[in-house]
Amino acid sequence: GQNIDQPTEMTATEGAIVQINCTYQTSGFNGLFWYQQHAGEAPTFLSYNVLDGLEEKGRFSSFLSRSKGYSYLLLKELQMKDSASYLCAVSPTDSWGKLQFGAGTQVVVTP
């Protein structure tokens, strides 16, 4: 079966750093995605990891450890507009064409 876990909610202040963890147990692995979704809007792509290590994109970084079934999304220099839900999604090998989404982590940025 597929299991993707991430915290439900995190709160941080503007300018701070927040790390959103995601653990997964899936049938095979072909990459992990992070998406950002503002309330009432479509998810937008943030990052993709298929090899172990850190991928950095501006204020956002994503890390993957395949042996541990673990990823995190790091948001630096938080801005109010970063308040959103962050979805971890895994591409399993036994489900061609499918992405398995976690339940999402709601990040609340306070002044």
Enumerate binding residues for another protein (CB under 8 A).
Answer: 30-31, 33, 40-45, 48, 50, 87, 89, 91, 93, 96-99, 101-104, 106
Nearer to another protein by Cβ, of 13 and 93: the residue is 93
Phi, psi of 80 (to 5 degrees): -60, -35
CB of 50 to another protein, least distance (A): 7
| Four-point Cα dihedral 13, 33, 65, 7, nearest 10 | 40
Bridge partners of residue 10, in order along the sequence: 107
Strands 84-90 and 32-37: antiparallel
For the bound state, the minimum distance from the C-beta of residue 43 to another protein, rounded and expressed in Å, comes to 5
Closer to another protein at the Cβ: 39 or 111?
Answer: 39
Q: Which amino acid, 34?
A: W
Q: Give 22 or 78: the residue with its C-beta nearer to another protein.
A: 22
The two structure tokens encoding residue 95 = 């489900």
Least Cβ distance, residue 30 to another protein (angstroms): 4
